């Protein structure tokens, strides 16, 4: 696969403003495609309202929360809190992309549409958690206040290309995290809700992935460097959540999201689709970035293999204890 841009491919030519203008037509095309395939859905239809009852407070008959009131597993509860708090920072995410992509034309239409669709996710997850009593509502609200009070600043806000590369991977990572949380939740209602959210996240990933493909065709060297930087330094937007590191470790052990999943189900699918490691005709800096990306992926696969071994050994120990 050979991608060239002989008259516009040099770093001295491309600025964020020029790239935004050059990609506007692609954004419009992808926006129209997205609107044709995306299906509206009603958050309230995914919530088990009949399970709900009053919490203590203004209601004298309120019943205090206890984790035994919910069908959700412990790992499901941990992951649901992380996933919801990540969704809660939507105002900051909107500010980031609206500032970077603008509020006019196809870019602006996409920014607002994406925000509206993402808004459903936080609505339905919080309603589900409260109605089903899956989490401590007081602790959840304290976490929300703490997390949102810190705000969010993207690691990639300095560059439009870096931002597009990041969300191409991050939207898929979010889809995988939601989907696996549903599988591990122990509650079919929760699983259906998160499957619906995951469908949205997949469509968002496709939008940004196709935009990243167009960026490779315009500015292959710069885009390759952006992808290299994003992959090597990738972290989820919820990394500032209170207790995130401990929760992430538990989610890794619980097979909601870990190194193997990150390598196999997030990074590799996007890189393979775009044939990133097969692109020819790169300049020196693009070629170096491509080589470094390949080396990093090899190292990550090796690290994932080590994690797989540790996880298998842990499962064996737990099975032996249960049998004894």
Q: Who contacts 228 (Cβ-Cβ below 8 Å, separation ≥6)?
A: 289, 290, 292, 293, 296
Structure tokens at 249: 């470790």
Confidence at residue 320, expressed as pLDDT on a 0 to 100 scale: 82
Return the higher-pLDDT residue of 39 and 156. Answer: 39
Q: Can you tell me the distance from the alpha carbon of 19 to that of 88, in angstroms, rounded to the nearest whole number?
A: 30
pTM over 0.75: yes
The backbone torsions φ and ψ at residue 280, rounded to the nearest 5 degrees and listed phi first, read -105, 175
pLDDT for 12? 53
**Mean pLDDT of all residues in 278-288:** 95
Q: Is 192 exposed, middle or buried (0-12, 13-18, 19+ CB in 10 A)?
A: exposed
Within 8 A by CB and 6+ apart from 158, the residues are none
pLDDT score at 8: 42
> What is the pLDDT of the chain when averaged over all its residues?
91
The answer to whether residues 307 and 301 touch, using CB atoms and an 8 Å cutoff, is no
Q: Answer whether residue 310 shows pLDDT above 60.
A: yes
Pairwise CA distance, residues 242 & 8, whole Å: 45
Which of these, 235, 265, 94, 263, lies nearest to 172 by C-alpha position?
Answer: 265
Beta bridge partners of 280: 2
Is 105 exposed, middle or buried (CB count within 10 Å of its CB: 0-12, 13-18, 19+)? middle
Give the model's pLDDT for residue 316. Answer: 86
Q: What is the pLDDT of residues 185-220, one digit of tens each?
A: 999 999 999 999 999 999 999 999 999 999 999 999
Percentage of residues in the chain with pLDDT exceeding 70?
A: 96
* Tokens (6 digits) for 251: 């989610």
Distances (CA, A) of 239 to 154, 166, 242, 248, 283: 11, 15, 9, 9, 35
């Amino acid at each position: 696969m050979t991608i060239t841009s002989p008259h516009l491919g040099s770093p001295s030519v491309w600025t964020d403003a020029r790239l935004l203008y050059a990609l506007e037509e692609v954004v419009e095309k992808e926006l129209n495609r997205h609107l044709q395939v995306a299906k509206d859905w009603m958050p309230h239809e995914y919530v088990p309202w009949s399970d709900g009852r009053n919490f203590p407070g203004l209601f004298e008959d309120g019943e205090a929360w206890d984790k035994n009131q919910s069908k959700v597993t412990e790992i499901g509860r941990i992951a649901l809190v992380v996933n919801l708090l990540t969704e809660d920072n939507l105002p900051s995410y909107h500010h980031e992309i609206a500032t970077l992509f603008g509020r006019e034309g196809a870019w602006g239409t996409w920014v607002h549409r994406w925000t509206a669709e993402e808004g459903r996710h936080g609505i339905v997850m919080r309603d589900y958690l409260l109605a089903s009593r899956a989490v401590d509502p007081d602790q959840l609200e304290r976490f929300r206040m703490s997390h949102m009070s810190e705000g969010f600043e993207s690691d990639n806000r300095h560059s439009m290309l870096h931002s597009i590369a990041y969300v191409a991977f991050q939207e898929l990572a979010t889809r995988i995290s939601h989907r696996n949380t549903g599988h591990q939740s122990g509650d079919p209602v929760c699983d259906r809700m998160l499957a619906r959210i995951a469908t949205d996240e997949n469509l968002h990933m496709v939008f940004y992935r196709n935009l990243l493909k167009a960026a490779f065709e315009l500015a292959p060297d710069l885009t390759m460097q952006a992808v290299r930087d994003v992959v090597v330094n990738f972290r989820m937007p919820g990394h500032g959540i209170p207790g995130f590191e401990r929760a992430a470790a538990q989610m890794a052990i619980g097979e909601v999201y870990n190194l193997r999943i990150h390598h196999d189900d997030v990074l590799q699918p996007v890189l393979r689709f775009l044939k990133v490691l097969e692109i020819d005709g790169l300049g020196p800096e693009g070629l170096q970035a491509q080589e470094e990306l390949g080396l990093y992926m090899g190292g990550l696969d090796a690290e994932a293999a080590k994690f797989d071994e540790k996880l298998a050994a842990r499962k064996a120990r737990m099975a032996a204890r249960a049998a004894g």
